[in-house]
Chains A and B, each alone.
Chain A
Amino acid sequence: MAPWLASGLVYASALALTAGGITLLYITTRTFNFAHASMATWGFYVAYTGTVLYGGSPYRYFPLSFLFGSLLGVVCYVGLNRPLLRRRAAEITLMMSTLGYDLVLLSGIQIYCDYLTHTFRLFPRRVTMSSYDAEIFGMSASPLILPLTAILILTVFHLFLAKTKFGISMRATIENPLLAGVSGMNSDKVYLAAWVVGGGMASLGGAFMSMAMTGTPVMGMMTLPFMFAGAILGGLYSLYGGILGGFLVGLAEYGAVYYLAMLGGPWVLGYRMAIPLLIMAIVLLVFPSGLAGLPWGSLPRKLAGAMRGVKS
């Protein structure tokens, strides 16, 4: 597997999870969650702590990362989001409040890093998690395991939404909170569940991410624009669109940088952050409602028509 593709797949799986989480929180609680940044970083530090202090492969600690993210999500919902929703706060207020929560989490990360250094003589501010990776068939396991894990999680979540009573009530509340309320559904429980799943996906995504890049206290902050880019590319209102959007943004960043650097020289690397955002801007100019707004059903026919020179 080409080196860019291997780390690209890991990074893309991480963005798929985080962008999916951002979308889920937005369509349920109308909140654009900036705290996704440090929730992701915390997920990485949970996996890191487990690996260096207790040993074994980092994957053993990924479930813990997810649970810790859920906990951070619940704290955010109960302490911040729910009181604001009850006061019918505007979307901008909801969004800015999560920025504040993110700064609190970031400070927590810095304190925790100092604690690790003082107590265990560790250097947690620049971590290469991929050096702890396991091997399958003579190559790193992460490009294989992480995309499969992402697909597994999304399949389980899809079945939960499609088949279980609580999952259906989640879809009902997302579509029409008023009717869901007068039908006897408690939207509070649905929103709490969204933060449990969305927070877990954020932190697990952060743990994924550290397998492809250097783990630092600001890793989440640096990648937050791409999580949002993925969610926006997905159309913001579609959970599956957000997941696909995140995946494409991640893969595009690694692929485009690799090939452009081959063509134009290494100076391109300095502009790597611009590439996914450029892709997002171009897609939105052509399809304003993102991937979810594409005419998927008639797309093959239209493309075939365009190739024959027929206007559809």
Chain B
Amino acid sequence: MNINRLYAGYGKFKVLFDLEMEVPANEITVVVGPNGAGKTTLLNSIMGVATVFSGDVVYQGKRITGTPPHKAARMGISYVPQMGNVFAGLSVSENLQMAGYWMGKNELNNRVDQVLDMFPVLRQFIGRKAGTLSGGERRMLAIAMGLMRTPKLMLLDELSTDLAPIIAKRVMNEVARLRNELGITVLLVEQMAKRALEIGDTAYLLVSGQVRFRGKAGDLLRDPELSRVYLGIKES
């Protein structure tokens, strides 16, 4: 996926300015940056949720700028938002069904089984309302819902929010496994920058809606100035 000269925001309010980005296939691209840098807006504009003023989002050689969310989802792009990423009033099993909404019945049931094999912990909650799950369990369900659609590209927003450090680490390892075993392309927006950059391939540092750094994830992690000022990573 490529993003060319993107200006985007909400209503009349611009958040992203002249953004150029390349998300190579079968890699993890990490986007880090301080609060308000426009990380979530970036994902929202790819998915057709935010307003795009100018510029292009090109996915698999096709221009998908302004495609409505439900169509983008059917093209194999799967978005796991940071907040409100499960249907609290629906049971775990209904949530998974909804995530694979347009699949046929057999395909849907197979896929639910496969996804539950990846996250066996969800099996014991299958009939419970998602609103009664803990933060970590919800996040697992949200990722499981993202995987229901057998995505080619996953957009993951702040996976580590509300998670205990040990669980956040496990979730990050899951993300690395998505790339290694399933060959899924991942665009990961993350506050827990250190761990994300460790598993990532390419990294972008976004500050005030503009790209401040692009390069290898490891290079950003080792850049003493940028990592200290923007990511709060101390030199060891």
Contacts and interface: CB of A to CB of B under 8 A. Distances in A.
Interface residues on B, range: 20 to 34
B215 interface: no
A169 B70 CA distance: 13
A175 B69 contact: no
Contacts of A180: 87, 98
Interface in A151-179: 165, 168-169, 171-172, 175-176, 178-179
A185 B103 CA distance: 11
Contact of B81 (A169, A172, A178, A185): A178
A293 to B, nearest CB: 16
Contacts, number: 65
A179 to B, nearest CB: 6
B48 to A, nearest CB: 8
Interface of B: 11, 47, 49, 68-70, 72-74, 78-79, 81, 84-90, 94, 97-99, 101-102, 145, 149
Ranked 9 nearest A-B pairs via Cβ: A181-B69, A184-B73, A182-B79, A184-B101, A182-B69, A186-B70, A172-B87, A172-B98, A184-B70
Given A171-B89, A178-B49, 12 more contacts: A88-B11, A165-B97, A165-B101, A172-B94, A179-B84, A179-B85, A181-B68, A182-B49, A183-B70, A183-B73, A183-B101, A184-B70
A97 B27 CA distance: 49
A188 B130 CA distance: 25
Nearest to B103: A184
B70 A185 contact: yes
Contact of B90 (A88, A172, A184): A172
Contacts of A175: 87-90
Q: A180, A182, A184 — which one has the most chain B CB atoms within 10 A of its CB?
A: A182
11 contacts: A175-B88, A175-B90, A179-B81, A179-B85, A179-B86, A181-B68, A181-B69, A182-B69, A182-B70, A182-B81, A183-B149
B78 to A, nearest CB: 8
Nearest to B72: A182
Nearest to A186: B70
B103 to A, nearest CB: 9
Contacts of A168: 90, 94, 97-98
Contacts of A169: 98, 101
Given A169-B101, A176-B84, A181 B94 contact: no
Contacts of A181: 49, 68-70, 73
A182 B74 CA distance: 9
A179 B87 contact: yes
Interface in A178-200: 178-187
A2 B68 CA distance: 57
A184 B145 CA distance: 12
A186 B90 CA distance: 18
A195 B97 CA distance: 25
Contacts of B89: 171, 175
